[in-house]
């Protein structure tokens, strides 16, 4: 003689499944999102550096930022335009300022000079050259000429440093150094409960084999 489940038992079972799903889904979504951060950063930095290498080789230039010529704003725009010949990007023609927040949620007044572009996978990058003239006696791979901000999901939220916006140091041979790789961050984006506004999270992710470790 076969015994089936009653309607009440089925409803109770579905209710339990629903409660478990509601409790675990946010954690799964967050973990899944965090797992994508490292690979996206690695893809961007790799593509960026390869494009710079090809650009310097093709143009016969020895450095990304020329010693003489236009002001920084013009140099940035010219650089991005040249880079677009070797990397699938779209230079932005509108204002490069953005509404960003810091890692801890406080406002970040990101209204600075610089030029930016969109990547073909939906990311956004902002490049700002430092003021001053590079020292010709210093090897190009040691000349820190500016900063690159990279937002892995473009204009989509949360637009926060250390969460979807990460910072690199740009050198004159075209290579990137994740900001915060010196080890002072103890491998976390949130050091002992005291944030650094997300400035060094990029370095901590690279130091942890492209894994995001939030405290």
pLDDT of residue 119 exceeding 70, the answer is yes
Rounded-to-integer distance, Cα 178 and Cα 104, Å: 20
Domain extent listing, the chain:
39-207
Amino acid 25: pLDDT: 43
Cβ atoms of 202 and 213 closer than 8 Å? no
Q: What is the mean pLDDT of residues 146-152?
A: 94
Amino acid 170: pLDDT: 95
> What band does 68 get if pLDDT is binned at 50, 70 and 90?
confident
Q: What is the mean pLDDT of residues 45-52?
A: 97
pLDDT of residue 211 exceeding 90, the answer is no
Which range has highest mean pLDDT (73-87, 119-133, 194-208)? 73-87
pLDDT of residue 168 exceeding 50, the answer is yes
Rounded-to-integer distance, Cα 52 and Cα 13, Å: 58
pTM: 0.79
Amino acid 133: pLDDT: 63
pLDDT of residue 105 exceeding 70, the answer is yes
If we measure between CA atoms, which residue out of 119, 114, 121, 204 comes closest to residue 163?
204
Cβ atoms of 191 and 151 closer than 8 Å? no
Cβ atoms of 178 and 157 closer than 8 Å? no
Mean pLDDT, the chain, whole residue set? 80
Q: Residue ranges of the alpha helices (H) in 60-172?
A: 72-83
For 15-38, write each residue's pLDDT tens digit: 777 666 555 544 433 444 567 899
Amino acid 11: pLDDT: 73
Environment class of residue 171 by beta-carbon count within 10 Å: exposed (0-12), middle (13-18) or buried (19+)?
Answer: buried
Cβ atoms of 51 and 44 closer than 8 Å? no
pLDDT of residue 3 exceeding 70, the answer is no
């Amino acid at each position: 003689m076969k015994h089936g489940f009653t309607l009440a038992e089925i409803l109770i079972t579905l209710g339990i499944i629903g409660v478990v799903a509601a409790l675990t889904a946010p954690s799964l979504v967050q973990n899944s999102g965090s797992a994508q951060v490292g690979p996206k950063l690695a893809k961007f930095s790799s593509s960026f550096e390869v494009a710079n290498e090809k650009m310097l080789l093709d143009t016969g230039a020895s450095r990304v930022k020329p010693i003489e010529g236009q002001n920084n704003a013009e140099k940035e725009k010219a650089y991005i335009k040249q880079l677009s010949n070797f990397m699938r990007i779209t230079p932005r023609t509108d204002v490069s300022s953005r509404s960003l927040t810091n890692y801890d949620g406080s406002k970040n007044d990101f209204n600075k000079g610089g030029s930016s572009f969109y990547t073909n996978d939906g990311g956004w990058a902002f490049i700002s050259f430092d003021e001053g003239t590079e020292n010709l006696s210093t090897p190009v791979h040691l000349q820190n000429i500016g900063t690159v901000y990279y937002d892995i999901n473009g204009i989509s939220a949360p637009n926060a440093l250390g969460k979807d916006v990460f910072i690199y140091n740009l050198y004159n041979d075209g290579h990137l150094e994740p900001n915060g790789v010196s080890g002072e961050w103890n491998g976390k984006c949130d050091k002992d409960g005291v944030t650094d506004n997300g400035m060094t999270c990029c370095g901590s992710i690279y130091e942890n084999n492209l894994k995001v470790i939030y405290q």
